[in-house]
Structure 1
């Protein structure tokens, strides 16, 4: 087979959003700023893995973590401009899946928490 040289930027973007749960975390944050517990309740993912993914997205500049000095401390996650730039990609994937993925493939038994 012929080798294909991928653009390093495309490869990096696929590595970022292709990680397990990352796309769904971004999708969840498209609704607006949210606390960790809200994101965790919306997705079938363990708290440990969600924390790991949020840290990775923060390091990439996709997610903003804001700490509010209240009692108790409130932490909120939101998408940065860079993160909101992924909205069209995520929405296009959503449209594609509605057209091409069998709804039988979307049962709760197909999504397992990590």
Structure 2
């Protein structure tokens, strides 16, 4: 098998997608944000993720242009996260992952 080189980022759609979606929590974060804008604590509770892991994943997705972070000048500061335009284009992929996941769960139940 040919080794997939990281030089293919930005060229090969599979390598590019895999790089952007790296991280244990990326798809779950995107799923939560696909339902609408959320605050940090809402995401933390919904995903049951540590503060450090969520912070790291959100920073990465923000750097990649998938997630937008909005800070409101209030005391205490309010920060909200949402999908960017390119992030919202991932919604049909999430729906496909959900459909496949449900089919696979049915398969597991039938074959175990």
Question: What is the alpha-carbon root mean square deviation over aligned residues?
Answer: 2.1
Q: CA deviation at 1:8?
A: 3.0
Give the number of the structure with larger relative contact order, counting CA–CA contacts within 8 Å between residues 6 or more apart.
1
With over 3 angstroms needed to count, the CA separation of the structure-2 counterparts of 1:58 and 1:99, relative to structure 1, is same
Of 41, 56, 60, which aligns to 2:45? 41
How many residue pairs match? The answer is 104
Of 5, 27, 33, which aligns to 1:29? 33
| TM-score, length-scaled by structure 2 | 0.83
| Structure 1 unaligned spans of 5+ | 106-114
Deviations 1:72-106 (A, max 9, x none): 1100000000110111111100000011125989x
With over 3 angstroms needed to count, the CA separation of the structure-2 counterparts of 1:101 and 1:55, relative to structure 1, is same
| Structure 2 unaligned spans of 5+ | none
